[in-house]
Structure 1
Amino acid sequence: MFARASRRAVSRVEGRLFSTSVTRNADFTHAVVGGGVVGLAIARKLQARDGASTVLVEKHGTVGTETSSRNSEVIHAGLYYGETSLKTKLCLRGKEMMYELCRKNDIPHMNCGKWIVAQDEQQMEALEKVHSFASTLGVPTHFVSSEEAKQREPDVRAEAGVLESTSTGIVDSHSLMQYLEGDFEENGGMCAFNAEVIAVEPIQSGSGGWKITTVSGGEESSITAETLINSAGLAAIPISNMILPSERHLKPYYAKGSYFSYSLSRPKPSILVYPAPVPGHGGLGTHLTLDMAGHIRFGPDVEWVENPTDLRVNDKNLTAAIDDIQSYLPGINRDAIGLDYAGIRPKLGKMGAVASGKGFQDFYIKTEEGFENFVNLLGIESPGLTSSLAIAEMVEDLLYR
Structure 2
Amino acid sequence: MLLQRCFTLSKSYKYRAFSSLRPPDVEVDNVVIGGGVVGLALAEMITRERPQESTLLIEKNKRLGEETSARNSEVIHAGIYYPKDSLKTQLCIRGNRLLYALLEKTSIPYDRIGKWVVAQSSEQHSYLEELSAKATSLGVETYFMDGAKAMAMEPELKAHSVLVSPTTGIIDSHAYMDYLEQQIMEQGGDIGLNTKVVNIVPGNGGGRYLLETVDGSSQTRMTVAANQRVFNAGGLHADHISNFLMPGKYKLHYARGHYYAYNAPSSIRHLIYPCPEKNLAGLGTHLTLDMAGKIKFGPDVLYIDNPYDYSLPDDHAHKLAFTKAIQSYLPSIDIDKLQPDYAGIRPKLAGPGEPFQDFVIQEEKDDGFEGFHSLIGIESPGLTSSLAIADYIRETL
The verdict on a shared fold, with TM-score over 0.5 as the criterion, is yes
Are 1:13 and 2:8 matched, yes or no? yes
Is the contact between residue 262 and residue 337 of structure 2 (CA under 8 Å) also seen in structure 1?
A: yes
The answer for the alignment partner of 2:372 in structure 1 is: 374
1:16 is displaced (CA, Å) by: 2.8
The answer for the alignment partner of 1:162 in structure 2 is: 162
Q: Name the SS of the counterpart of 2:65 in structure 1.
A: coil
1:145 is displaced (CA, Å) by: 3.0
Identical residues among aligned pairs (%): 45
The answer for the alignment partner of 1:242 in structure 2 is: 244
Most deviating of 310-319 and 100-109 = 310-319
Q: Relative to 1, partners in 2 of residues 1:298 and 1:151: Cα closer, same or farther, differing over 3 Å?
A: same
Q: Name the SS of the counterpart of 1:382 in structure 2.
A: coil
Q: Name the SS of the counterpart of 1:390 in structure 2.
A: helix
The answer for the alignment partner of 1:60 in structure 2 is: 61
The answer for the alignment partner of 1:123 in structure 2 is: 124
The answer for the alignment partner of 1:293 in structure 2 is: 292
Which of 350, 356, 360 matches 2:356?
A: 360
Is the contact between residue 255 and residue 303 of structure 2 (CA under 8 Å) also seen in structure 1?
A: yes
RMSD value, Cα: 2.0
Letter in 2 for 1:16: K
The answer for the alignment partner of 2:22 in structure 1 is: none
Are 1:145 and 2:146 matched, yes or no? yes
Are 1:195 and 2:191 matched, yes or no? no
1:218 is displaced (CA, Å) by: 1.9
The answer for the alignment partner of 2:20 in structure 1 is: none
1:111 is displaced (CA, Å) by: 0.3
C-alpha distance in structure 1 between counterparts of 2:282 and 2:171, whole Å: 22
The answer for the alignment partner of 1:262 in structure 2 is: 262
Is the contact between residue 126 and residue 277 of structure 1 (CA under 8 Å) also seen in structure 2?
A: no
TM-score (norm 2): 0.90
1:331 is displaced (CA, Å) by: 1.6
Is the contact between residue 14 and residue 195 of structure 1 (CA under 8 Å) also seen in structure 2?
A: no
TM-score (norm 1): 0.89
The answer for the alignment partner of 1:223 in structure 2 is: 224
Letter in 1 for 2:301: V
Q: Name the SS of the counterpart of 2:105 in structure 1.
A: helix
Q: Relative to 1, partners in 2 of residues 1:270 and 1:239: Cα closer, same or farther, differing over 3 Å?
A: same
Q: Relative to 1, partners in 2 of residues 1:29 and 1:110: Cα closer, same or farther, differing over 3 Å?
A: same
C-alpha distance in structure 2 between counterparts of 1:286 and 1:90, whole Å: 24
Q: Name the SS of the counterpart of 1:126 in structure 2.
A: helix
TM-superposition CA deviations, 1:225-273 (whole Å, max 9, x none): 12100001011001111111x3x5222210011111100112x310000
C-alpha distance in structure 1 between counterparts of 2:341 and 2:9, whole Å: 31
Q: Relative to 1, partners in 2 of residues 1:17 and 1:40: Cα closer, same or farther, differing over 3 Å?
A: farther
1:109-120 to 2 correspondence within 5 Å?
A: 109-120=110-121
Is the contact between residue 62 and residue 193 of structure 1 (CA under 8 Å) also seen in structure 2?
A: yes
Most deviating of 328-337 and 33-42 = 328-337
TM-superposition CA deviations, 1:360-389 (whole Å, max 9, x none): 010000011211111100000000000000
C-alpha distance in structure 2 between counterparts of 1:213 and 1:264, whole Å: 50
C-alpha distance in structure 1 between counterparts of 2:82 and 2:376, whole Å: 17
1:26 is displaced (CA, Å) by: 7.4
Q: Which runs of 5+ in 1 are unaligned?
A: 1-8, 20-24, 353-357
Is the contact between residue 319 and residue 335 of structure 2 (CA under 8 Å) also seen in structure 1?
A: no
1:52 is displaced (CA, Å) by: 1.9
1:30-41 to 2 correspondence within 5 Å?
A: 30-41=30-41
TM-superposition CA deviations, 1:208-239 (whole Å, max 9, x none): 51111111122211111121000010110011
The answer for the alignment partner of 1:6 in structure 2 is: none
C-alpha distance in structure 1 between counterparts of 2:135 and 2:281, whole Å: 21
